[in-house]
Structure formats: C-alpha cells, structure tokens
Structure 1
Amino acid sequence: MDFYLNVTVAGLETTRQICSDYGYWFRRGDETSLTLFFTDRALVSEVRRVVDDLKGPGSAPVHLIADPVPFHELHRFYRKKGLLNEWIPYRPGDLFRIHRLLEPNAGNQSYETQPVSIQFDVRYDQTVPEKRRVYRREQIAAILDAIDHLHPTSLIDWGCGCGANYSFLKDKLAQEGIRYQGLDTSRFLISKAKDLYETPESDPRVRFDLGDARRLPYPDHAFDLGFSESLLPLVPNPLAALTEMARTTLFGFFSSLYTIASHQPGLVYLQKERAYALDVGATWKYRKGVSEQVFYLPKTADVRAFARKVPHIVTVENKRHQFFDALGIRTVSVFFYPKRWFDQRRARFTLWNYQPLM
C-alpha cells in the first residue's frame, strides 16, 4: 500500500510521528511506500533529515518530493486511497491500523491471515466452549508461582501475541508492581495488544513491542524473569533464541521446545539454523489450506550442551509427544525452568513433566 502525506498541511511534528510509525511497522518487501510532498518550500530541509534517519538496509521505501506541488496538480495525490488526513491527530500505530483496514488480506508472515489471528485473540477465545479454548488460566500457574517465590520486579513475555497471557497476569502484576514487556514478531498481533493494553489509561509499566527473540534489544539481565509459550518451535535457530533468553533474564525463564536425537526421513537439517526443519503445513490445524508452516527441531545434544552452560536454568526432558509421534518423528520435549524455583519443587516435577504447565 502506498501512503501519501502533504507535509505543508500536516506540519513537522505530525510528519515526524508518521515517519517514525512507518519506520517501526513497515519493512522492505512489504509492498508499501510513503511519499511526502509539499505545497511550499518550508520544512523541506527538516523533513529531509527525518527521511535520512529512516533509511536502512531493511527499511521500507520513503519518497520525498521536494519541489512544491502546484495547486492544480494536487489532484494527483488527493485521489489516492492511501492519502493520510493531515487534520486528524495521529496516535502511535495508526498508520498500521489504516494499512490493516484498507489492505485486510496483506500479512507480513504466512500465519497472520485474518482467520488465524482471530483464533489467537483471547477475547474471541473466551467466547468458545471451555474444551475448545486455546488459552486457560492454568497455563500461567507456574508463572504465578514463580512470581510469589522469586519476587521479580520485571517480566518479559516472548511471543506475547495480542496479550493473551498478560490478560490473565495483569491483576497479579499490578498488585506486585511488576514491569511487563511483551515482544512478538507479528505486527498484526502487537498492534492488537497495544490497542487492548497499551492505552493512555493503562499501566505505564506495560509495554508491547515488535522484536525477534533471536536478537533481543535489551542489555544483560534486563528482566528478572521471562517466559514463552508455544514460541520456540516456530523460531528459526531456536538455540539462538534460548541464548538470548538466558542473557536477558536474571533469575531464569520458562520455555519449552522439541528436540530430535538424530536425522529422520522427511527432515532437512539447516546448518545455519542448527535445527531440523519439519514442514507441518498440512497437519497444523489452523494452517491447512492457508499456508505452509515449519517447526524447527534442534539436536538434543546441542540443547543439553546449551543447558550445561546456563547455571540458573534446569531442563526437564519428556520422551514423547503425540503430535510428532503421529508423523513418525521421535522427539524429546525439553522444558526450561528457573533453577531456584525448580529446586524447591523437584519432588512434584515427575507429574509436571508429563502434564507441563507451559
């Protein structure tokens, strides 16, 4: 989608906000562009600097028409579907909301099609019968337990989606004064999370941002505790994500992934990702007929070697997984837990290993 903005009418501050929004939400290859035009020569140099700051190897294209557009030629822009109304105050994220409204079928990743995203929306999920729900409060029982045990001041949720787990955690986090950071690669889901939980009236300690679990933009031990749910099988190079999770958390993190001991027919080993690729597009229940989906299965030996390097993490292995067994793929499920929290619950873990909470 092509956006157009009359900078002369919008003014410098609105232009900066829209450019910042555009740089945050859009990437090269999205089939989007932003064209800035003027009706006089004021602000051209200032806006040129703003545009230069947006340029990068992966940035979506921005076009600057520095020569003022004569009045009789403005119709070339004011007939465009993507013309931005200069008179309406913009909130962060509005540019992406407009994009989703006018281009509802455009997705930056295969699983971001509209029917799938609805399934991931906790508001929709709570309207279906209990046995069909994707999200349940019991899924965060271990997190709530760890909060009581470790007393963290900050928490990061990798693969937060539109805030499903946060919706169950928010009362506890507010009660304990815990800072929450949600992170996801899906622009559609993050925009929904921001609409739901990051509003002027919401807790300022709550943030949802775009990000990649393999390259976290945070310093070491930036968060006391972290967790992810159903994330790592979808992450290319899950070991890189685990390394970043360990680096950025002080007390440890909750997560799980599936590993494979040796090569199996139908699997392709990706040297760069240090994992086997399994195409589950035909069997993954939300993707059938929509798109392909790949699960990434690292080698069990590599995961064990990683775990030995991270002293505050404990891994618990589970030898079976029904989904992979049905495909003829023998895997080992590995669950990561904060060590201090785990040590006092070791006796109970035999049961939890076969009924994992995360």
Structure 2
Amino acid sequence: MKRAYDTVIIGGGMAGTAAAHELARRGQGKVLLLEQHRFGHHHGSSAGASRIFRLSQPLQHHARMAAWALRGWRTFQQEYQTQLYWPSGLLDLGTAHSPELTSIARHLTAQGEPFERLDAVALARRHPQWRPDDDWQAIFSPEAGILNPSLTLELLTAMTRALGGTLLEQTRVQRLDLSDPHAPVVETSAGRFEAGRVVIAAGGWLPNLLPDLAGRFRVTREQVVFFRPQRPEAFALGRFPMFIQWTVPEVYGFPMFHLPGVKVGLHISGPEVNPDHPDGGPQPELTATMRRFLQRHLPDAAGPEMQTQTCLYTTTRSGDFVYDQHPASPHVLLVSPCSGAGFKFMPVHGEIVADWTQQVTHPLWSDRFTLQRAAPDHGPPRDGGG
C-alpha cells in the first residue's frame, strides 16, 4: 500500500466522499479517503434514504449554493445514469410576519425561480391533507425534491475507486502529526500516511479528533419518525409536497418515500452527545411533539409509528458551514458543512475542497465560512436548516 498521497481525506461521509470523488474526477493526484467504520454506515450524519433538496433558502448564500448544487446533482445523474433526485415540490409554512418566508420569496424572485404564495384557505384547498391555522401563509416551490444519501454515497464511493482513488474503511485516525506544518502526517490504525494536504471532514467526530477546537462545534443526536397514514394515497410522492414549518421547534416532513409512511423531524432538537458514546436512544418527548403537530395540522398522517431513525448533527454557533485552514497548518483544511442543512449542497462541497487543494478560491466560498466567523466558541445555533 502506498504511504504518500497528494491528498488524504479523513471521513467517508457526505463531505469527505464529495471531496474524494471530485478530486478523482478531476484526476487531481493521488487521493486517499479514510473511514473509521464501513462506508455507508449509519453512525453519523449521511445515511438514510431521504434528505430535502430545495431552492427556497432564507439565506442568500445558501440560495446561490442550492442553484449551483442542482446543476451538480443533474450532472451526476446524467453521467452515471442513476437517479438520485426525486421531484416533489416543497411548502415553506409560516405567517405573513415570518422573516424566513419574506427572505425565501426575495431570493427565489432574484434567481428567476417560479413559486406561489398561498394563504390558509388556498393551502387547504390545494392540499386538503392540511388543517392550517387561520394566519398561516405558504410558499410553494416546484423545484424541490428528495435526495437519497445512502444511494449517493454508494455511487460516489464506487466511482471514486473507478477513477483511481484509494478508499480505506475500518481505519481509525489516531493522531494528526503537524510537527512540520508543511508536511502533515496522518497516523491511523493501518499505519502512517504522508500527505501533501489533509482534509478533515470527520463530521460529529471532528471535536474528538481536534480537541483544541472542540468548543467550536456541538454534536447532537437528532431523530425522525415515520408515521403510517390513515389514507396512504393522500401522502404519496407527487400528491403531497415536502414541507418546512418555520416555527420553533421547526418541523419538517416528507411524502411517502422508501417506507410507506410520512417522515417527520424536528430541526436541532435532540440532546448533545459524544459520537463515540451516543448514550440513549430515541427521545419519546420529541416523537410526542411530532405527533401533536400531525394531529393538529395533518390528522390523516397521525397514524401508528412505523420506525424511528437517529443521526448526528454537527452545528456551529452561526449555524453556518466551515471550510477553513487548520490554525497550525496551511496544508490542513477543516470541513464541516453540517448543521442539518448540508447534504443538498454535496456537489458544491466537493468543488470547494478540490479547488482548495489547487490553491484556487471557489466562487461560492466566502469568509463567513472561516472558524472565526462561523464557529466561535459555541452557543445556541441561530440559523435554521432543513
């Protein structure tokens, strides 16, 4: 096995896989992707059959990233002849005074994307599954859909191998040796690897791997629940759009996809955990909150619980992503595009990292993604995800 690589990437989840695939796709030197578990595992943040893709973003830079990412998803599908994106449309729900709806409408207009505004009466008429409050407002975006994370990672890891990248699973990183900041060394359970550049995309394990920076990241265990509808046909893909309710707690949901149930989640509501010791299981109080929402607003969806799934969220105080050099080495890039909102931007994450290895600044990178701005010492996240 080779012991020297142009780029060593730590973490085989969404961000690390995106980076390895893009580097291999460009033919950009020898690439090694390290994963402590097996590729496609369910311990982190990138597993499961469904994530939301949406152009309707309250933050302008996310709106730009979403439009760019959509082109990337379509390229993946065309080049690899594999469907990864299932159109469904999306309802952003709030009131006339919701700042998120105001920003979403402004950004969709600026991008020339079609959308519709619906008041409570129009929403219930268009989508009779809903029982909205009288003051509700909705924005319906037709360009939104479901991404399949597990299928995407399986495809891109396979293509990374086919394009010449090296992938090692069940290989735990034990130490990052930065004694020479210009020649980093990654010490692992499979030995030492020299690297021209190192990308740390360890997700929820980033604070454990870099304890000096641990206070800048918060790791929580979140959950989603699949409820079996009383009238399944009313919640089929194509009849029932995805939704995000912009209140606290922020509730989001999917039509039936993969499992014959409505998937519901609460954004950043779970307990803080250590990913190596994620004590406890699903939180019954969170499931109860989801059920109360369904009983009030989607009564036909409030059927028996089919399945509960958990995953890790890694968040910063700003709620934004991090792409920044390690304070001790210009040859080490920290990547944390999580916060519950990152998967939809996967093609962009790969491009940003690949450009960095070529000492090029990607058009969508800004200083808002630096540690100083995105991840000061941790406090409650401010921006929403979904």
- TM-score interval (norm. to shorter): under 0.3
Going by fraction, where is helix more abundant, 1 or 2?
Answer: 1
Instruction: Tell which structure's C-alpha radius of gyration is larger.
Output: 1
The answer to which structure, 1 or 2, has the higher relative contact order (CA under 8 A, 6+ apart) is: 2
Going by fraction, where is strand more abundant, 1 or 2?
Answer: 2
**TM-score, normalised to structure 1's length?**
0.27
